[in-house]
Structure 1
């Protein structure tokens, strides 16, 4: 086909058909600049391709962040590393790079309540999404209830298969809820299914010795912990609670604030 047989006025519809929205939006502006500056055709095409790829990447990140259901605002930029000096920033940065996801590595954050376990796991999850991975966050009790309902409806395999698409599942508050035998079974099935295949990140406020409240059957407790820690990075996050520290700081600030006094002029104006 020769150049004279191409109708340039059909270009917008062709770009729409090719699903190239950034090309469609920017080609005329970039073409004008290319003509003015005398760009070769290859540079003109490369610039448009860069814009298209960048926009696709942004759409992918937005889509995957939406499906991840991560709590808002919990990113590495908002985490207070100074308040937890036992957690090196460099180690967290390495985890955020995601190499540990290869082969289904796990991540376990253990510490007392209010030390930022959820924040750091979600922040790492956010960084992994930006790096191209798929992540899903849930409170353990909520996800267990969903899986138990799927078992009752005889669709547990389909529910677990949907979770397989995620490179990482973040299970928050795993040690809070006591679970019955049926719930314990679906949680163990999720852990066993992902072993050395897909990754799990867990926030727990109890050491492994206290996990018998999660899995009432001792053999199942041992088997679950064994699978989780086999290829795991463990973050020990015992420190003063962020919430308690913030409350104490507010209390001190209120105590140091002088009481409001009424001036003589104000008194006169009130009479």
Structure 2
């Protein structure tokens, strides 16, 4: 390599740093060598390095979105046991995972059912699928997020805190039922629901059906207003199935030499986080 070529290569490295093109910086020398050897036209070389940068940016973007989403690990649609939750249509879930029209109009997904039935698994798996399709998602236990919003309110920053959540195409609130019936907590939760109405989507999991939401919100008017906003554009899944965790605990208690009192499928016996 001549001194001029070495100088040019160093200059390219500096320029790529300045332009913040790490993908091209990583591969340009190898592609340039291949281009010189095979006699590529300039347009082919430029297309090759631009394509590599685009792929690398997509990979880094997904990594950032996965990190910020805070999804529970290992929860995917591939590992969700649809056979054990027959009331949930796999085809419908896969259509939701594409996340096009329903996210554009700020529609919601509501998952109801007893603990251990797979609500959290399905919500996290949908969140992961949406991230893989280029969307931004945030997963939080409802109590944790509500406490953060309460702190923001005390510091006169509630509006700003809710606005920051607008960056996420879907906000997953897990375990709505565990919010205490406290005026301060439920009022910030209601403000969040109202602020996202018909603009940004929410996915909510809850143990109680709507008829028992009076235990969450302090008065009937707020309960009705919250439910009205959530269901206006919503897909609702009733996941009323036995707890996978309970089944697994019973199986362990019985031990390998004691037969089950009733038949269960292999898939139904696998524990699944709610």
- Provide TM-score, normalisation by structure 2: 0.87
The reply on whether 1:140 has 2:142 as its aligned counterpart is yes
Larger Rg: 1
| 2: CA distance, partners of 1:42 / 1:249 | 64
TM superposition shift of 1:256:
5.2
Bigger Cα displacement from structure 2, 24-33 vs 7-16? 7-16
Where does structure 1 differ by over 3 angstroms across 4 or more consecutive aligned residues?
Answer: 248-253
**Which residue number corresponds to residue 126 of structure 2?**
124
| 2: CA distance, partners of 1:8 / 1:250 | 68
* RMSD of aligned Cα (Å): 1.9
Task: Show the 5 A alignment for 1:87-166.
Answer: 87-99=88-100, 100-166=102-168
**Which residue number corresponds to residue 46 of structure 1?**
47
Task: Show the 5 A alignment for 1:166-177.
Answer: 166-177=168-179
Task: Show the 5 A alignment for 1:235-254.
Answer: 235-254=237-256
| 2: CA distance, partners of 1:240 / 1:34 | 61
Bigger Cα displacement from structure 2, 237-246 vs 36-45? 36-45
| 2: CA distance, partners of 1:85 / 1:34 | 55
| 1: CA distance, partners of 2:31 / 2:258 | 60
Secondary structure in 1 aligned to 2:257? helix
TM superposition shift of 1:44:
1.7
Task: Show the 5 A alignment for 1:1-271.
Answer: 8-9=8-9, 10-99=11-100, 100-255=102-257
**Which residue number corresponds to residue 266 of structure 1?**
none
| 1: CA distance, partners of 2:232 / 2:212 | 18
| 2: CA distance, partners of 1:150 / 1:11 | 46
| 1: CA distance, partners of 2:181 / 2:147 | 10
Bigger Cα displacement from structure 2, 246-255 vs 88-97? 246-255
Secondary structure in 1 aligned to 2:178? coil
TM superposition shift of 1:252:
4.8
1:249–1:17: structure 2 CA closer, same or farther, 3 Å change rule? same
| 1: CA distance, partners of 2:79 / 2:247 | 17
| 2: CA distance, partners of 1:76 / 1:51 | 29
- Provide TM-score, normalisation by structure 1: 0.88
| 1: CA distance, partners of 2:59 / 2:119 | 28
Secondary structure in 1 aligned to 2:151? helix
The number of residues matched between the two structures is 253
In the alignment, structure 2 segments of 5+ residues that lack a partner are: 260-274
Secondary structure in 2 aligned to 1:12? helix
**Which residue number corresponds to residue 272 of structure 2?**
none
| 1: CA distance, partners of 2:37 / 2:254 | 64
